[in-house]
Amino acid sequence: MENNKKVKLNIRKGDLVKVIAGDSKGQQGKVLEVITKTSRVLVEGTNMVSKHTKPNAANPNGGIVKKEAPIHISNVSLIDPKSGKATRVSRKRNEDGKVIRIAKKSGEEIK
């Protein structure tokens, strides 16, 4: 039951987002990766998990490593560039016919 439709997501890599639900609620961070297949995002410094690693060439001692785990995209909200608060996103076409993202709270374009 593979779904091959292209998913339209309002959040992109490099965006500043706020976690609005879950254990990391209230934390802000930059999006490191967007996983479209599972509709999840990797946010810098949030949803930290302890990964037990075996010794290898990169880490000769092994041990417990803290790393970010993906969060569902519905649990994060984009931060308005003008007000600094969480906002929803709308899409519009500009004069050139290119689709741009606009913050619902301030009407500011999201770069």
**pLDDT tens column, 73-87:** 999 999 998 888 999
Q: Going by C-beta distance under 8 Å and a sequence separation of 6 or more, which residues neighbour residue 93?
A: 99, 100
> pLDDT tens digits for 36-60?
999 999 999 999 999 999 999 988 9
Dmax of the chain from CA atoms? 57
pLDDT recorded at residue 69: 95
Question: What is the per-residue pLDDT for 81?
Answer: 87
- CB-count burial class (<10 Å; 0-12, 13-18, 19+) for 97: exposed
Give the confidence band of 93 by pLDDT, cuts at 50, 70, 90: very high
5: pLDDT confidence band, cut at 50, 70 and 90?
confident
